[in-house]
A and B are shown apart, each in its own frame.
Chain A
Amino acid sequence: MFGRHTGRGGRLFGAAALTMAAGLVLAGCANGDSGGDNGAAPDPGAGGDSNFAITFLPKSLGNPYFDTSNAGGAEAIAEFGGTFQEVGPTEASPTSQVSFIQTAAQQGVDALVVSANDPAAICDALDEARSVDVKVVTFDSDTNPECRDLFINQAEAEGIARVQVEMIAEQIGGEGQIAILSAAANATNQNAWIELMQEELAANWPDIELVDVVYGDDDDQTSFDRTAALLQTYPELRGIVSPTTVGIAAAARYIQTSQFQGQVAVTGLGTPNQMREYVEDGTVTAFALWNPADLGYLAAYAAKALVEGTITGAEGDTFDAGRLGSYTVGANGTVLLGDPFVFNADNIADFNF
């Protein structure tokens, strides 16, 4: 039937392939429970003992902000005794996070701590993970509340938006054109802050005009290019607000080497180490953030409390978070880390992250 081209040999191998495929299926079916009996794997269903297997899944790997939060998580896990694993896609897209969620579910980890690239896209995968008893804690960027157990919020969205608007308003003298350089277009946290910034501007700063919102996808080169395009398109631009550490670093780098240094203000959310040289040479006057290491640290402790059963994610639950003290779960399963912090030339030397 296969013709002279492959001959009997070809048919033989077609049969062999089918047999093997059947064998694979049977092997999978026979081992009905996930075989975590090799020493390397965390023991599934071991919620009671002291070895918590927690996997951190940030928006993408290779982002200094998430490297810091991962380190905070690792510190917490080392403190309370557990296994820390960090995984992530190379680019910040929602569908690429799905395979890591599936892998975590397969490995039977105790908890997954994730910063979502899209509030809905990874929901189905997260629900699948939760159905095999993996606790899901989101941090930094939330998903729809139904598909996670807890959300660790770095600061009130309203506070983050207000601080950035106040900084840029101060730096451009209260009037003029500004633009926003954001991250991925669907990132929950970004869109929440942008919307609140627009409200704050409309309410309190009538002389400031927001001319554009562009997306750098948390990619350095893309953000750099978007900054250049903004300055080309809007010659009257007085300031750029970038509520993402990759964006603000790229924008500052562009402004620093261009004719606009000192004329176009750059502010937003950045890390001290990345922004240090721009603050020291005056490209950037002030920027804000919280401590991402604390965020990862708190997320890990929250995950531990969920796995232990100390809390269930309901409003009013309290749990202990090591050196950060005790935290209470607020409405909608949200835990608030604290207030945003403003960095400038006076205090930047005190920080190292």
Chain B
Amino acid sequence: MSVKKGSFVIEGLENVQINIGKVGADEEQIAEGPTPRPEIISLRNWDYRILDRYNPVYTPTSDMCDMCTYGKCDLTGNKEGACGIDLEGQSSRQALMTSIQGAACHSAHGRHLLKYLIKKYGEDFKIDVGPSNLQAPLTETIMGIQPRTIGDFLPVLDYVEEQLTQLMATTNTGQEGASRDFESKALHAGMLDLLGMEVADIIQISCMGFPKSDENAPMAEIGMGILDPRKPVVVCVGHNIAAPAYILDNMDKNNLFDKIEIAGLCCTAHDMTRYKKNAKIIGSMSKELKYIRSGIPDVLVTDEQCVRADILKEAQKLHIPVIATNEKITYGLPDRSNDSVDAIIDDLVSGKQPGVVLLDFEKIGELVPKLAMKIGPIRKAKGFTALPGDDEFKKLVAKCTKCLQCTKDCPESLPISDAMMAAVNGNLSLFETLHDKCVGCGRCDYSCPAGIPVLNVIEKASQRVIREEKGKMRIGRGQIGDPEIREEGRNLVLGTTPGVLAFVGCSNYPDGTKDVYDIVEEMIQRSYIIISSGCAAMDIGMYKDKEGKTLYERYPGRFVKGNLLNTGSCVSNAHIAATTIKVASIFAGRKTKGNWEEIADYVMNRVGAVGIAWGAYSQKAFAIGTGCNRLGIPVVVGPHGTKYRRAFIGKPYRKETWNVLDGRDGSVVNIEPAPEHLMITAETKAEVMPLLAKLCFRPSDNSLGRAIKLTHYIELSEKYLKKMPDDWHVYVRNEADLPVAKKEQLMKLLEEKGWKIDWEKKKITEGPLRKVDVSFQPTNVPRLCKEAKK
């Protein structure tokens, strides 16, 4: 006889419940909505609703497909290839594959952490993310369960992995062919990505002592100029805290923080500071190559994600040993996990081996500080650096022929040769400006026909600004707590807080890191709630005002208007998306468990939240954005985002796509385009600010909220584009929606557009698309209307 997991009651013994397996079902574990553990087509109707309004726009980087041996196939002009797929289908398949890659990355990170943390703390270790009854909003909404222990996440990751396998299967030649369904599947992968991230961050917050919804989380130092290069320097690169935690523990135990500098690059840095306050942050991925070539690191510790593929090669040139601590990135190095620490150190210090794979965390913790102490003085005595000396620098800049090949190969098309010419005359200021705008990819090195190591030259010339590069970042606080949602939810839904802007993603900025700071400063002064994470969160902290204060020092970290929050590393993006679920649940009382469609419908129509990934480069960022889109959150990406090849763009002139239902009676209401787009790009920071303001409009805004949002939309457009927005009037439903300070002026403009105004009563009598109705219950889902429920 086989006994399955679950609970059952024996006839005659109704008061006795027998549980087999881990947990018996109780009220809290019963799904409240129709789609617990949705399969790859369970939410297709919701996806179709999204796609019908926000049409996928494809901008292929390649007109060909070379995925199978029929090809290469020329799909130019949307022709079909040998397998029958056309360019639209191929582009949507690429969107799906990109989403899967991103989701796989985050959830594999979660799986790695979960295995490790269960081994260390046991499956029954309680999850604790701070003051919250809704501790895992995404897990509840997707899985229909309320996890209580870290072991409860095992079936969650099982589900994610199984779904990702199913999705990946559909991308094979001879499988799915309809772009519409590829996009539905991409949205599914995006949702899985959010789920995988939530698991990863909740378990590390719970087990590793990270801040738990802490609005007063301490500050961390950040910048390329914060480390003392005279001390041995350990630099950890990547996203996974497991190995660096052991290094930090060992240093703590042996009082080494005064003797060794330890810092991180990319999201590992976030989590190192969440784990131990002594850790520091060098910066985003764009700083990796620059910092390694400075020669300052004495030991490089890699884990996973956003680690440059050439780290070993670069490090080897400067005799920096690489310790690869995660099986996902092993660089062809020998696995020395079973060898003694001293033997490994001997081989690394002598240069016998350029690096090792080391998967034993205890050994990593012991080895890295020891290695740094031993190799640090040797390296410093030899003065290893890739940067040229003063004389060599002069010779190198003089070699530039101004052929512009470096500019053509530069992702940002930077005017490098102008800086070279200026440097010949002793002016380094152009290079100093380039240092901020340069994403540190090193493509210029390969392109220079004169053999100038361009990146090294930029960095050599920028030593003055690099030394001064010292900022502050409030460390990752984790989730938004329930009390904060209770306090702010009403303002958000009614629109009296103009919006939540989430600055997320990577550092592939079109015009330097300062843009992010500038955008945040403008919007926070306008009382938007700014939430940040990942590399964007770091870059926000890199600049100071005239009084020498960073934005984190100027603005508090509570989830209320005009505050600046940092949730943490890349996986903490899950909390940003989950905040909208919390608003739906805590403020509006919507059921969450297994109820994705209703929650997403609520978010899309009522929560003025927008994501902005100004420097997004990775598949992970695309997956996060796509997951947010399925949750009804619009996302704006910088101009490089067009290379993701797909956006979701609304067409305001197609009135029929802007119909919603009134949940009270199921009647159809034609609404203003709000939000107008789900995924779109902008060319410059001046363009993106009014766009962000516009994407915060929601059909549910009350008049006061709409007037506030309209004020910012108009003011930002006038300030940065020197014009009134062409469509501002579309968002006016009655005179109370108009910004008070400009009411009369705007009413005159409306009259010029043909609207009827009763000037005596100062009322609009004819013109708006619809009236304000405070009881309006906008929904895109027919079954949620009361009539349907009856």
- A, B co-complexed: no
Which residues of B does A touch, CB under 8 Å?
Answer: none
